[in-house]
Amino acid sequence: MGKRFFLDQHGCAKNQVDGELLIARLEAKGLVRVQDPAEADIILVNSCGFIESAKKESLDSLMDARAAYPHAKILLTGCLAERYASVFAEELPEADGILGNGDLSLVDQAVDSLLAGGRPVLTAPQKGVCGGNRSTLLSFTGSAYVKITEGCDNHCSFCAIPIIRGDLRSRPVADVVREIGELVGRGVKEINLIGQDLAAYGCGRDDAAARGGSFTAGEKSHLLELLEAVSAIPGQFWVRLLYIHPDHFHADILDLMERDRRFLPYFDIPFQSGDDGIIRAMNRHGTAESYTDLVRMIRARFPESSLRTTFLTGFPGESEAAAGHTLDFLRAIQSDWSGCFPYSSEEGTPAARMKGKLPHKKAEARAHALEAVQAEITQARLQARVGKTYDVLVEEIIENRDGTDEGLAIGRAWFEAPEVDGNVVISYDLDDAEAVRQIVPGAFVRARAFASSEFDVSAEWVRGS
């Protein structure tokens, strides 16, 4: 047997794609992936470096692996490795090697060095978008993430992404279409398009030079051009768009969504705040009113659309009144889902130099207040979906241990994104051969919602689906 490796995956969906690319490269190199780190010769900690809590989680995992598996070589990869490579080269002896994410093909060189007794520290300029074969997907069966951009030019004052992953650059349309076609051919039913800001697709400096200029008002957006090409791919699959900056939302994509219902009316728009002063301090250009109008416009076109957003609480200078404005904004937009996070001061960002820092406990309390309001809204919006029938992508079967003939499966309807939203719990009869045959991970089934809880929907399988 060849050398064995274990991947300890952290961070966002974009980092998950990088992890899948690392797996494919190592397997192509002849290494064998194992599920138990105790069996591994090399442990990759694919880290997150976005906010303090995520950085701590990644470093704790590395330290735990160092203590538990002293025989293994530990390679720190991902955003944390990219951001602090030079620091860790001197101050993190627990890592046997450090690999940034600018060029994932360097993992071949890193592994060769590790196995030869070296201590590689490898980074590369942030250029292009790393791609290639992904033989293993880390998502549930039937779902995949497809990265269409890398880096970001928005430069929100709190965000370290441009520091870590560089300026915006986009993948060619043909490259994205080819990958989606291959995934659909492998049986993938849900394509989740990801990037730091999908609305910026095709608008990077090098993208613009290649295409004769960036997007301007009155023209077809480059994102729409990509989606139209994706729409030409045959087959039954969903396309979900994740992470669209509210200042750049392209209304022209809504026409395509109406024409091709495979493009889900699920909108992930991170507003971050509902206070105009804080929005400006975040280096954003909208207002609470313009953002509310954006939501109204979307819901006028798609009354049952699902909206996810993100709020950052405790931003420097956020007063009690400003926090109250964000609560009012949440009540006004009635988002189906939201993530609420206390502000994390990240070195190198403009916000880290701002005055008016708030105690972390106050930022946490404001996040909890938003979460409480969101829980009430989510419960009410899920209740409104009861009585309707949905296509559900089955993710896993719950083992029956009580001796009854009731089967249970966990899946997601179109209004639920992977990992972050709730689920649909499907009940069916284990004595029904057709149900057992149809309800398998990675398959679409029809299910009628009959109840809802705070975050999930209960449904029964519909025969003949």
Exposure string over 54-70, b if 16+ CB within 10 A, otherwise e: bbebbbebbeebbeebe
- At residue 93, φ and ψ (nearest 5 deg) are -65, -20
pTM, 2 dp: 0.94
8 A C-beta contact, residue 161 and residue 14:
no
Determine the longest span between alpha carbons in the chain, in angstroms: 66
What's the angle, vertex CA 234, arms to CA 231 and CA 237, rounded to 5? 80
Taking the chain (465 residues) in runs of 10, the rounded mean pLDDT of each run is 91 94 96 96 94 92 96 96 94 96 95 96 91 92 96 94 93 94 96 95 81 57 95 97 94 96 98 98 97 98 97 97 98 97 94 96 98 97 97 93 86 97 96 94 97 96 83
Q: pLDDT digit string (tens) for 302-338?
A: 999 999 999 999 999 999 999 999 999 999 999 999 9
d(CA 226, CA 197): 14
Query: How many CB atoms lie under 10 A from the CB of residue 119?
Result: 14
Beta strands in 349-455 (DSSP E): 389-398, 406-412, 424-429, 444-452
Q: Which two tokens stand for residue 200?
A: 């910026």
pLDDT, tens digit (0-9, with 9 covering 90-100), for 19-65? 999 999 999 999 999 999 999 999 999 999 888 889 999 999 999 99
Determine the distance from the C-alpha atom of residue 399 to the mean position of all C-alpha atoms in its chain, rounded to a whole number.
Answer: 28
298: Cβ contacts below 8 Å, ≥ 6 apart: 254, 265, 267, 305, 307
pLDDT, residue 210, reads: 55
Bridging pattern class, strands 306-313 and 406-412 = unpaired
DSSP 408: E
Q: What string of DSSP letters covers 214-256?
A: ---TTSPPHHHHHHHHHHTS-SS-EEEE----GGG--THHHHH
